[in-house]
Amino acid sequence: MRCLILYASLGGNTERVALRIQDVLRAEGLDVESIKVGHETQINLYQYDLIFLGSPVRLWLPVKTVMDFVRRTIIHYQKTGDLIPCSPVRPGKYAICFCTYAGPHTGISEAVPAVKWMRTFFEHLGFVVLDEWYTVGEFTGSEENSTRGRLGDIKGRPNEDDLLEIENKTKGILEVLKLFRSHSLRSR
């Protein structure tokens, strides 16, 4: 199984989550690539079986580099004919969408649109989205938003507990995929 961790991170929070996912996948002996999304990033996503796409939340959406990457990729797959109406599910193609967010105004509800946006991208490509992960991340550069928002004092987040949760969820996803695989082998 080929895995890709694709992420953006402006202050390092989302990168810490991405690196913890990477550690778990590598410890399981999986083939993993980690790519930080840039302005030029172009990737054939269909060469991977499991993709993690992560972004910090900015104004309820993913950051611009992620959104631009998604738009470029959609246009590319429209041209190649891979993106077609009804978006049929591609067997064996899975994704997880994750974010880090500070939620200073309304809590997790301001992170939900960002992750749903990324999820819809994968669903258009026919990937099955197995989960959405929301991790609290200190609002870099804003003491007020890191201490007096809806989530209270979030300084130092993601902390080791947050990263442990990511570690456990990543292990859980690998278990799910093992079950899918053994079930599909049995039903052949």
Ligand X SMILES: Cc1cc2nc3c(=O)[nH]c(=O)nc-3n(C[C@H](O)[C@H](O)[C@H](O)COP(=O)(O)O)c2cc1C
Q: Does residue number 185 form part of the binding site for ligand X (CB under 6 A)? A: no
Q: Does residue number 102 form part of the binding site for ligand X (CB under 6 A)? A: yes
Of 64, 7, 14, which Cα lies nearest the Cα of 32?
7
**Residue 21 to residues 53, 77, 141, 180, Cα–Cα distance (Å):** 11, 27, 26, 20
Stretch that binds ligand X, among 28-36, 54-62, 79-87, 164-172 (CB under 6 A): 54-62
* Angle between helices 13-27 and 160-186 in degrees, nearest 10: 40
Token digits of residue 120:
């819809």
Min. distance of Cβ 177 from ligand X in angstroms? 26
Selected binder of ligand X within 24, 66, 103, 115 (CB under 6 A): 103
Q: Does residue number 62 form part of the binding site for ligand X (CB under 6 A)? A: no
Q: Does residue number 65 form part of the binding site for ligand X (CB under 6 A)? A: no
Q: Which residue is nearest to ligand X, using beta carbons? A: 137
Nearer to ligand X, 59 or 86 (CB): 59
Nearer to ligand X, 58 or 116 (CB): 58
Name residue, tokens 């890191």.
146
* b/e sequence 10-23, b meaning 16+ C-beta within 10 Å: eeebbbbbbbbbbe
Stretch that binds ligand X, among 11-19, 27-35, 41-49, 70-78 (CB under 6 A): 11-19
DSSP 80-146: HT-S-TT----TT-EEEEEEEE--TTTGGGGTHHHHHHHHHHHHHHT-EEEEEEEEE---TT-HHHH
Stretch that binds ligand X, among 6-14, 32-40, 84-92, 179-187 (CB under 6 A): 6-14
| Window 125-164: residues binding ligand X (CB under 6 A) | 137-141
Which spans of this chain sit near ligand X (rule: CB under 6 A)?
Answer: 9-15, 56-60, 100-103, 110-111, 137-141
